[in-house]
Each structure stands twice: as structure tokens, then as C-alpha cells.
Amino acid sequence: MNTEKIITKRIGHQLDASVLSTTPDTKLVDSLWAINWFDLRRKWMYSLYNMLVVGHVQKIGAKPIFKGELQRPIHNSERLRRDMLLIVRYPKASAFLEMISSYFFQVKGMLRSSAVEHFQFGFMSNQRLSSDEQDEAFPTAYKGKLKYLVQVCEGSDAIDLDALIEAAKSREIFPHFIGKKSAILGLKKNEASLKTLDFILSHVLVLGGFDDEALESFAQSAEYQKFFNSSSESFCGLYERTI
């Protein structure tokens, strides 16, 4: 099936995978940012999995834009808290489905299943920057290692992102990724009903700055607290970027 709101592909014996739009303005033929939000069970195994699948990702024109590991929570939520965030930009939904239909990718994916837990996966649109603008978010003269604040939200719809970003920039904190939920992944075997992967996040924000203190101070500011309290539940913390 290939319609405006759902794209489906056979990925195995009597197994179909579908990317389903969750918003009226989502276009599945445009870029999608895949959110991988999870805890590590076997770090070495996950690193091995990443090494083995990088060729599959590159082959279909996808690109990881952020991978970070939690260093310290700022506003904690045990239910939403995770060790790792990986964001990958896919050129379109059909490219993602093409990748996961590969038998060799599926075999390698068994490593990921054993390496992670509490896995959340879904797609978002980038609310601030196009993929070509990602590298222009930060002052180009700065050569040091940037620090990152990651915020995930559940149930945030009426939020003023523009006001938040302007407040951040006034403190020399810059948007790396501002994501809003746009699509989910579903699987259907034989004649069974379609089952979608668990994805409760409505927004993901990745903000970069020059030091942890500036990011933490911003997270405690009145502007940020207003945004933080606009969702039914949120988590934010400082993450060390590895990609």
C-alpha cells in the first residue's frame, strides 16, 4: 500500500512494515527524523551493531545527526528517562522501509534487540532547521567540544517554540534539533491486526551550548520552566554527544 498517509512494504515472509503519518501535514515522501530513545543493556554489543549497520544506513541516503549518552538529569522523570538518544535523518519513509527489508540488516538487528531495553522508536519532523542547515546552527568560529541539553516531552501540543529558541539564543544556546512527532512504525504478520511500535514522545529538543553551567542555568530559567510545564510529562538532562 502506498497512499498519502501510509506507506507499506513486505519485509519478510508474510510480514509487512508500514510507516503511518500521525499528523495532517506529514508528507511521507519528505525527510523524516527517526528517534531512537532507549536504555543500554550491553554497551559493547550496541557499539558493534552500529558498526555493522552503518553501510545499510549510508546506502539509502540516511545520516545520523545526533547520538548522545546521558551524563546527568536536570528535570527527572523515571518513566521518560533513557540512557541514549540517537536521531537519524531518512530521505523518505520508503527509504527506511527499503533498509529494514534487507535480510542482512534484520540479522544484524538481533544484536540491537539484545543490547538495548525500554526502546522507544518513531519519526519526527524537524521544526527549526532543514537537514542542510544542521551544521550552521552553531557559531563556526568555535572549535571546542559543545555540550548538549536534551528534552523529551509527552503530550505537548500548544507550545511556543519560537519564544523558547529566542530565549536560548540570547544565552548563546543554539538549536541542534527541534522535533515534533510525525509518524510511527507498524508491523503486520499474515492476517493479524497491524501493531505499532511504542512511541509516546510528542517532542524532542536538542540544544547545544559552550558549557554545562550555561545549559543548566537555562533549564532553570522562567522561560524554560514555562515550556517544561506545558507538557503532561517531561524529562531533560545533559548528554555527551558521540556523533
The residues pairing with 44 across neighbouring beta strands, listed in sequence order, are none
Phi, psi dihedral angles at 149 (to 5 degrees):
-105, 125
CB 138 within 8 A of CB 82: no
Q: What is the pLDDT of residues 30-51, one digit of tens each?
A: 999 999 999 999 999 999 999 9
CB 207 within 8 Å of CB 227: no
pLDDT confidence of 157, banded at 50, 70, 90?
A: low
4-18 average pLDDT score? 94
Cα dist from 58 to 9, 35, 61, 91, whole Å: 20, 17, 5, 11
DSSP 8-state assignment for residue 198: P
Mapping DSSP to helix (H, G, I), strand (E, B) and coil, where does residue 160 land?
Answer: coil
For residue 104, give the C-alpha cell: 542482512
> Check: CATH 3.30.70.100 for 6-127+142-241?
yes
Of the candidates 199, 152, 177, the residue with the CA atom closest to the CA atom of residue 19: 199
Q: What is the mean pLDDT of residues 85-106?
A: 97
**What's the pTM?**
0.92
Helices 43-59, 103-115: inter-axial angle, 10-degree rounding: 150
pLDDT recorded at residue 172? 93
Could you give the residue ranges of the DSSP H alpha helices within 160-241?
Answer: 161-169, 212-219, 222-228
Per-residue pLDDT, 122:
98
Give the contacts of 18 (CB within 8 A, at least 6 positions apart): 1, 6, 7, 8, 9, 185, 186, 187, 188, 194
CA distances from 170 to 157, 164, 165, 223 (A): 24, 10, 9, 12
Residue 133 has pLDDT above 80, yes or no: no
Which residue in the block uniquely carries the three cell numbers 510529562?
A: 233
**Over 60: is that where the pLDDT of 235 sits?**
yes
pLDDT digits (tens, 9 = 90+) for 194-226: 999 999 999 999 999 999 999 999 999 998 988
Neighbours of 146 (CB within 10 A): 16
- The phi, psi pair for 80, rounded to 5°, reads -100, -15
> What's the rounded Cα separation, in Å, for the pair 123 and 155?
15
Query: Which candidate, 67, 228, 72, places its Cα nearest to that of 154?
Result: 228
Query: Does the pLDDT of residue 53 top 90, yes or no?
Result: yes
Does pLDDT of 130 surpass 90? Answer: no
Segment 174-187 shows an average pLDDT of 95
